[in-house]
Chain A
Amino acid sequence: MSYAVGTLQLNNPDTALIRMENITKRFPGVVANKGVHLYVQPGTFHAVIGENGAGKSTLLNILYGRYPQDVGRVWIAGEEVTDLLHSPADAIKRGIGLVSQHYALIPALSLIENVMLGAEHALPGGFLARKRAEARALELSEQLGLGNLPFSARADQLSVAAQQKVEILKALYRGAKILLLDEPTATLAPQEADALFALLQTLTAQGATIVFVTHKLREVEAYSHAVTILRAGRNVGDFITAETQRDFLLQRMIGTRSGTPLNTRTDLTGAIASDSTYPMIGESPFNAPFVPQPPTSSPLFQIENVTILNTRRAAAVLDINLSIRIGEIVGIAGVDGSGQRELSEAIIGTRRIASGKLFLSGRELTRHNVRQRQKLGVASIPEDRHKNALILDFDLAENFLLGHERDHSWGGGRLINRPRILGIVDEIIRRYDVRVGHHGAPTLAQNLSGGNQQKLVVARAIESQPRLLVASQPTRGLDVNASEFVYRTLQGAKERGLGVLLFSLDLEEILRLSDRVAVMFNGRIVGVLPRGEATAERIGALMTGADSALTLPQGGQLP
């Protein structure tokens, strides 16, 4: 760090490069920022931390001009930004660049086109000056130590980590001196994250200023000079990182909320106590007695030599073998693009398997459709809940019925028994503490917060009394409480004899829950590690393909 303790003028508005004061921003139903201030000193690496929902991204987006604040003032380099209709173009002009997971490169365009977009510096007549742009981009790329990038390749042919580097390049191409990064390591393997930080440190050494939004305290400790903490939309403290303790930051971040023991948040491999308030599947509103699975030695679910092709006829998943036992959680780790998505879809049944077989309790499922698999006991918590799990225009009762619309005990059948399903869902709302507002079951799904939506999805999966539960990115976009609910549910499911497959890009989650961790890289399983041997470093190495020497034999012969 280039600042000695004590010389960083933490909240001095006069020396601040970025100065935001009294920022308030409202969205329908929610106040995202309440009177927030932020002072970022030039040349610093400034972290902004807080839980999901604290308002960090909002603040960043306001700074970048994505939308204007309702109240408050912003100064950049001493000059007040008075134009409230401030757009990203303005921010770019002032030397600000944003690297955001959601609005990254455009997949179908080539790398150089992505870099040029909006800053084409066209030749007279509007013609693109491709060669010139490539030359300049190459120059920048070498300055950053990124070497020669394949500028003509389509953006989606690169890994997520590589794409992110191109995004940084893109910002620098426009002369950015201030970089805003919004949770950039959310989907990166540890080694990739390290590479990113190395790059960022190079940039600060060259005089750039970095504002870094994250919820990972480890990163804050290791790299930042200053840290600002947001909680429930307010700024609850600015500190010089070197002068703080991680526990202190954590406490400021989450406050003193009841029911969330501090020690479950600090570390990666601590066990989770299964909560006794968790609804027992056996007391399900359907009044079906719970029959615990008899312990057997044969696997519950077997994936045998499975190959899956993607839309471009390339192998997304290549010849993998894996089995899951009763009462175990198997976590599948891997970076975005390693084949997780295709594999989870193939198990649920929405994607065809090119070759290989799937077995559930010895019964082959390979050619079965989704409904048949549901009937045999496969339930899912799908990846993108707005797209794949819920129908936002349906109400909660209709959503809960989804997948069971022909099932009499759920209120379905040839004709739908609406009073029955309404009653069931009211019960579910009560048991699972789904916050729905006044109307109860007839509320539309779109009017629930993400956490409550996910509760409904999880409840639906669990109450169908499955044998195998496939959970994909189950806590994406959820705050701590909702995430904890999901973790307790998965833990409870496992204890009741389900087999759980957890697909996640979040290493911490995998490490907390899994009995075994299978790591995917480029469509193959490159390692299966039991709980004791699974560490972030080892898994990270496998995720990035670095360390195949550490692998255990694939698939079949498992301890």
Chain B
Amino acid sequence: MNPSNSSSWVAALLMATLSNATPLILAAMGGVLSERAGVVNIALEGLILAGAFAGAAFGQQSSTTGMIAVLIVGAALGFLHAFLTQKAKMNHVVSGLGITLLVIGATRYLNLKFFATGLNIPGIDKQVFLILACIMPFAVLFLLNRTTFGLRLRAVGENPESARMTGISSALPRYAAVTLSGILAALAGAYLSMGDARTFSTGMSSGKGYVALAAVIFGRWNPLGATLGALFFGFFFSLQSQMQIFGWKLNFLGVEWTSPILLDTLPYVMTLIALLSTVGRATPPAALGKEED
């Protein structure tokens, strides 16, 4: 890797950005669907982790089995979140956090129990996920604006009582939206374990679920905007590894700014800055997070 070869590092950076953005995009699309239907989805982090684990645990022999497991686990947990928030009338944040903590605890436990000696899986080519990540934003956009399902989803996220007066139940679109978001987030996790690392490690989602949610807000709950946000954050995730590869160093005022530990903070810092800049202009779906029946 020759640092002076400018086109190669740009290309490498772009590729790394796309790779890092892939799980963010997938999870963000799930976030868009869920939130546009009125359900806050803090569980994205847990859903990603669950997908990562399911893909790794069941993908040891056959990647197809792994993917099926991912879809099932994602759908099940998504459905759980929908059930808790709609039927049990749970506060959306509490439900999301509870599910996330449950997944963290369960994956840690199961990982220790079954894979204490390590886990290696054949995995899936990253390209597959990349293609998915390219298609999904348009698919979600189309779904929201051009289909009956999408219209009802948006209506229910804005004003469920008015929607009900036109004869639509708010339950069906919400359950469907949140279950779908579970599947999408689980796919994001599958990328992490099956597409990227080819193994599972506890905490491998490292906050990406929250960053994806920030991308949704940053993108004003619009699938294309959220994708741009995901790319933006993905860029910063990739900086750390790229700078290491290209051997760049910057020491200034006694601080090693290019230390991987510090670079690791960049995506999180940028998330904060991004949120500071847009909020106040973007209005969320009117019924987002409201619990009144």
Contacts and interface: CB of A to CB of B under 8 A. Distances in A.
B233 to A, nearest CB: 27
Nearest to B142: A127
A117 B166 contact: yes
B118 interface: no
Interface stretch (B143-151, B222-230, B258-266): B143-151
A107 B158 contact: yes
Contacts of A102: 161
A153 to B, nearest CB: 16
Interface in B19-66: none
Interface residues of A, number: 30
A118 B166 contact: yes
A128 B162 contact: no
A89 B163 CA distance: 11
B254 interface: no
Given A88-B164, A98-B165, A128 B159 contact: no
Given A103-B161, A109-B154, A88 B166 contact: yes
A507 interface: no
Contacts of B147: 122, 125-128
Nearest to A65: B167
Given A89-B167, A103-B165, A118-B168, A109 B146 contact: no
Contacts of A98: 165
A118 B167 contact: yes
Interface in B120-170: 145-152, 154-155, 158-159, 161-168
Given A92-B167, A103-B162, A108-B158, A117 B151 contact: yes
B274 interface: no
Contact of B165 (A66, A120, A127, A311): A66
Interface string A84-98: 000111101000001
Secondary structure of the B contact surface, majority rule: helix
B230 to A, nearest CB: 24
B286 interface: yes
Interface string B163-191: 11111100000000000000000000000
B148 A126 contact: yes
A104 B162 contact: yes
Contacts of B145: 128
B139 to A, nearest CB: 13
A443 B285 CA distance: 35
Nearest to B147: A126
A105 interface: yes
Interface in B52-103: none
B286 A108 contact: yes
Nearest to A122: B148
Contacts of A116: 151
Contacts of B286: 107-108
B158 A92 contact: no
A88 B165 contact: yes
A100 interface: yes
A103 B148 CA distance: 21
A113 interface: yes
A288 interface: no
B40 to A, nearest CB: 17
A57 to B, nearest CB: 13
Given A66-B165, A108-B158, A109-B155, 13 more contacts: A89-B168, A90-B167, A100-B165, A103-B161, A106-B155, A106-B158, A107-B158, A108-B286, A109-B158, A117-B163, A117-B168, A118-B163, A126-B149
Interface of A: 64, 66, 87-90, 92, 98, 100, 102-109, 113, 116-120, 122, 125-128, 170, 311
12 contacts: A88-B165, A100-B165, A103-B159, A104-B162, A106-B159, A106-B163, A107-B159, A109-B155, A120-B151, A125-B147, A128-B148, A170-B166
Q: Which 6 A-B pairs have the closest CB atoms?
A: A89-B167, A118-B166, A122-B148, A103-B165, A120-B148, A118-B167
